[in-house]
Amino acid sequence: QVQLVESGGGLVQPGGSLRLSCAASRNSVSRYTMGWYRQPPGKQRELVARITTGGSTNYADSVKGRFTMSKDNAKNTVYLQMNNLKPEDTAVYYCNAVYWGTEYWGQGTQVTVSS
């Protein structure tokens, strides 16, 4: 069982920045594909960014050039740096880990972009 704990969400004005963190258990960051998903109000959960065990990343078109996902294997933590935030980025953000087809999820952290 992998435990994922997100932090760093909050209220930010449009154009602002936030950095989300996801602390994982059991050395999973170096061995699992890690991802960030989000669920806007009234909408389905969607992939935001993903990072492989080798460090390759891919992003949703809506966040390319604004969001950066990274990881620190030594700290067993993944990050999502979010810049130039827009109101449409408002959502609950979830950390995800996948290993051999088994998925694990964090509890989510709320990000609200509003003036």
Q: Are strands 18-24 and 46-51 parallel, antiparallel or unpaired?
A: unpaired
Q: For residues 47-65, give the mean pLDDT.
A: 96
pLDDT exceeds cutoff 90 at 90:
yes
Are β-strands 67-72 and 57-59 bridged in parallel, bridged antiparallel, or unpaired? unpaired
What are the tens digits of pLDDT across the range 23-49? 998 888 888 999 999 999 999 999 999
Nearest 5 degrees, angle CA 106-CA 32-CA 60? Answer: 70
Q: Are 45 and 39 in contact (CB under 8 A)?
A: yes
Q: What is the pLDDT of residues 99-114, one digit of tens each?
A: 888 999 999 999 999 9
Is pLDDT of 70 > 90? yes
Q: Using the predicted structure, report yes or no on whether residue 22 has a pLDDT greater than 90.
A: yes
Token readout for 72 is 């620190």
